[in-house]
Amino acid sequence: MPANAAPARVAESHALGLSSAGVTESPGNRSMPLESRSPGPKPFYAIAHRVLTSEGVRAAVKHGANAIEIDVQGWKRGAFTSRWELWADHDGTLTSAGDTIRNLFYTIADERQRGADIAFVWLDMKNPDYCNEDDSSEYGCSTLKLMNLARVILQPHGVRVLYDFSTRRGRNYEKLRTMLNPNEAMGLAVRWEERDRMESLGPHNKAQRIYSTGFFNWWFKYDSVKQEIREAIDSQAFGKVFSWTMTTGQTDNGNGMMAHTAIDGLIYGRAALSYDSTWASFGALDDIKSWIKRRPRERYLATAKDSPW
């Protein structure tokens, strides 16, 4: 555990103010004060893709990412253990897990305390209903435990949270939708043709409704993704609109997405591998930075003091 994360560990162990659902209401839902900004250039979020380890977090921070995307799976690791835990894990196999979510959150909190501009963490919920929060043996890998960890470890340091669901079926989509605090937002599990139902399917506060669409390799679906992004932005139904995944070598596609839409941010990195220190992970970020640098009156890289929602 990073040395500077000790206060967060203490806060977690003494978090007694629980709601009836078992989610911490205090002190974890307090965040750092925000910096007010006058009208001008819009903040842009460069979101590191598939960060599964503490080393990946530190690499993303070093490269200049201002948001972190993490795949989340709750499961029992190993055949001979009863330890149920939340893991940073995209594939959900016996060998695919990275660090535990708890340890990853401590690393992010530590980097934030050191001054890193981590505006938010994007949690890609892979199996949100696998663990039952009402079963004491499984609570440690439940979605409510995830929310509790985020509120206690991340949010006191100004790191906000996006919960992104791939489907609205299941108990935890609706549960989290009604429990969001002001530091949290929700990626809507809706098809584009259902956009007229946003009020009933997503948070009532538009700022907390996040829409994203993309493909692991833009070479195959770039035009259709860009068109859907445009339509989502034009609908004015969402607080933020993001796309994924911009990879190294896709300079023209990335520039086109940023120039021809009013997109709020891009997930960048390796298409189908976790984030690391190599150029394959950060090459696309260099393209994003270059594009923004040429347009100081239009965009700037968001800082931790900019509230994404």
Write out the catalytic residue numbers: 49
Half-sphere exposure of 104 (CA within 13 A, CB side): 28
Counting other chains too, the contacts that 233-237 makes at CB distance below 8 Å and 24 or more residues apart are: 233/261, 233/262, 233/263, 235/195, 237/195, 237/198, 237/206, 237/209, 237/211
* Residues with Cβ within 8 Å of residue 256, at least 6 apart in sequence: 226
Structural element, H or E, at residue 243: strand 240-246
Read off the DSSP letter of residue 138. Answer: T
18-31 residues labelled b (16+ CB within 10 A) or e (exposed)? eeeeebbeeebbeb
User: Is 281 exposed, middle or buried (CB count within 10 Å of its CB: 0-12, 13-18, 19+)?
Assistant: buried
Identify which of 190, 175, 203, 233 has the alpha carbon closest to the alpha carbon of residue 309. 203
The answer to whether the CB of 41 falls within 8 A of the CB of 143 is: no
Work out the angle at residue 72's Cα, subtended by the Cα atoms of residues 110 and 212, and round it to the nearest 5 degrees. Answer: 100
Identify which of 177, 209, 168, 214 has the alpha carbon closest to the alpha carbon of residue 49. 214
* Residues with Cβ within 8 Å of residue 231, at least 6 apart in sequence: 192
